[in-house]
Structure 1
Amino acid sequence: MTAYSLLDLVPVVEGGSVSQSLANAADLARHVEALGFSRYWTAEHHGMTGIASAATSIVIAHVAAATSTIRVGAGGIMLPNHSPLVIAEQFGTLDALFPGRIDLGLGRAPGSDQKVARAMRRTLESDANAFPQDVLELQSYFADDGQTGISATPGAGADIRLWILGSSLFGAQLAAALGLPYAFASHFAPDALDGALAIYRRDFRPSAVLAKPYVMAGFNVFAADTDDEAELLASSQQQAFVALRTGNPGRMKPPVANYRQSLGAQGAAILDHALRCSAVGARAKVARDIAAFVERTGVNEIMVASSIYDHDARKHSLEITADVMRELAVAA
């Protein structure tokens, strides 16, 4: 059975507010918990007016307090932005508040541009190539094994489920070497998906936390009662992607009919390439596309990415997605 989870970037829509986006995040988490989703993740982004999850650990606490059983976590924390000790303390606190429910996905991208990265770090001397050592240091704080000479409080002994995130081969190699679960960002960077999964599975070394490879992959789902309605809903995310790629990110815009066609052949091809790990349509089409993705990749879990302008339409899309996943599980 393929598990299914939700990645929520806590979008701020045009005409909306950060307060409303955070209220929507809690409501959405309660909704997907009731629908049987395995986990709710949010991600660290900075300097983006359309994303309200910059203070990621605080958002996780907000969502975890609004739910009771679903796992809640970061997909992910960009470790080069932080000292491992600070992250150990933050997530140790989350584990103390919500024991056994906290995930921590770790990435090495900045989650911002260089200007914003400098403002966060005060210096750019931190090295993304030190990411593996930072992960080991973080593991040491949680294990409280004395290797750092510091006991993280909170943090020491915390029951945190660590993941390695990636959109290239690097993360796959690290996750395999450390025997950790691996999550691939195929919902926006699908090119290296097959190669990364092959490397992770081939080179995986069993660890104390994981006996065999476990793979999650991002997958966009925009589901509605009709194919045309789903295409319309997807246009808000398409606009956001184009705005980001052209250096003009902003708040999520309302859907636009025939948006892909308005870009011309070249623009539509770029969009289709980057977002090709997607299902857009009514129930039958979504079911076919998800089934084909699972069959091709063999992933253990799908991380559904579903940024939709209208909150109620987003909840309905996730209802359809959950129904499809349950039907696929029965068919399997």
Structure 2
Amino acid sequence: MSARTPRNAPQTIDETLELLAEADYVADRSLATVLFLSLKMKRPLFLEGEAGVGKTEIAKVLASALGRRLIRLQCYEGLDVSSAVYEWNYAAQMIEIRMEEAAGVDDREAMERNVFSERHLIRRPVMEALTGEAGAAPVFLIDELDRTDEAFEAFLLEILSDYQVSVPELGTIRAAEPPIVIITTNRTREIHDALKRRCLYHWVDYPDAERELEIVRRRVPEANQRLSREVVSYIQKLREIDLFKVPGVAESIDWASALTELDKIALDPETVSDTLGVLLKYQDDIARLQEGEGAKILEEVKAELSTAD
């Protein structure tokens, strides 16, 4: 992110709401409350919810609004310490050894200090998150923790307890100030209670129609107002039926953007059918809507909005 002067954390829940709104994140009061408490108590915030509801965006918005670095650890199956914390630059170390041998250096202790110096240390996200300056600690996003295995989760528990990492060759590296930690999970598996107990918890749900409309208007301000209302109403109804994967807020924004690029000012059956690939990501769901259910939902949307007008 661009270099900005770090801001102090908000001092009230209302200030937290304003901070998020400044970055076009439309949050409800319960989310603002737990985020405020997380910042005030310096506790990690554990966000759980379906994919696409805006969990990751909270960390991005917070980093931008507070003028802090955003450090992201994208979790995946098989994630290990060398990928998450640190590793040595072996190629550079070998060059160092060859150069010292060529120079006739025979002090093995001095050679070892040079080889295992910080200039040969490759800092991964966890270590980067622990090296922020006091008063400007970064926002550390641990994204989709449920994709990792329990062994890495246990290792992370130790990190979050003491905010330090031990490097055998260098010693212990401690955070001058604990980072602002945001952990997200899509609940594909349960996270151990021991880690959750160290965090404040919040379930991020799909927004109601009013809040989702405000989100779309902020993120796609060029969209026709009628179109935005129809998009939100249509997606709200999609979430009520049994789809393999219902669309999240991210898809609402994408769909409104795509329809605006097509110069649409309202939904029509042909356009809905042609653009379902923006909204849905599974062929079975797309086929189900194209077979008639999508047109039925559109009729309901048109009728309800006409009555409201």
Name the TM-score, length of structure 1 as normaliser: 0.34
Compute the TM-score of the two structures, normalised by the length of structure 2: 0.36
Instruction: Tell me which structure has the larger Cα radius of gyration.
Output: 2
